Structure 1
């Protein structure tokens, strides 16, 4: 599983437990209302600098991936190796791209990725 931070290189997490924790956090974000999903809404939120984490499904189209990455100008963590079925199962909706608007949860996910939790 590869995770990319636009400004700080890349990280690799192969631990199944860590992957499950990340998906659980995404589900929590959905229930708490901290998820913005769909390409158009995500781009609007990126332009307003409302996002702290972006998740792009590994099976998202290259056009979608390019369009989203084009609008990322700040230091935003990108997770790009979860499948759309994993994302959909975690949040209860079928989505290929989503963003997390809560800084605290985004930091917790980043800690998991970096091996701090």
Structure 2
């Protein structure tokens, strides 16, 4: 559970560093442009939206995390969002390390 908090704290840090992208159209454009390095999709996002972003992420080789609800993600960044992209490669790498550590527990 503590690793969940580390992931969410780091997501909040990415928000404060202005390294996140949100909004469906913005995210799709940024994914296509190769500017998104990691994607959070809330577990309670609609099925068609989830499919659209998972398919797009797979095509452009963007890692995806679907372990958190909209409420948890929104609290981490301080604004209501269901899909959040990380636009910094270094921050994305750290989030991948944290989420992989969580899976290995």
TM-score of the aligned structures, taking structure 1 as reference length: 0.82
Task: Report how far residue 27 of structure 1 moved.
Answer: 0.5
2:35 maps to 50
In the alignment, is the contact (CA less than 8 A) between 2:40 and 2:66 conserved in 1? yes
TM-score of the aligned structures, taking structure 2 as reference length: 0.90
Task: Report how far residue 70 of structure 1 moved.
Answer: 2.5
Structure 2: gaps of 5 or more residues: none
Q: Deviations over 1:5-39 (max 9, x none)?
A: xxxxxxxxxxx111001101110111111000111
2:48 maps to 63
1:96 to 59, 82, 102: 82
SS in 1 for 2:85: strand
1:18 pairs with 2:3: yes
What is the CA–CA distance in structure 2 between the aligned matches of 1:60 and 1:21, rounded to whole Å? 23
What is the CA–CA distance in structure 2 between the aligned matches of 1:58 and 1:114, rounded to whole Å? 18
What is the CA–CA distance in structure 1 between the aligned matches of 2:52 and 2:96, rounded to whole Å? 23
Task: Report how far residue 110 of structure 1 moved.
Answer: 1.0
Matched positions, count: 101
Task: Report how far residue 66 of structure 1 moved.
Answer: 1.1
Task: Report how far residue 75 of structure 1 moved.
Answer: 2.2
Structure 1: gaps of 5 or more residues: 1-15
Judging by fraction of residues, say which structure has more helix.
2
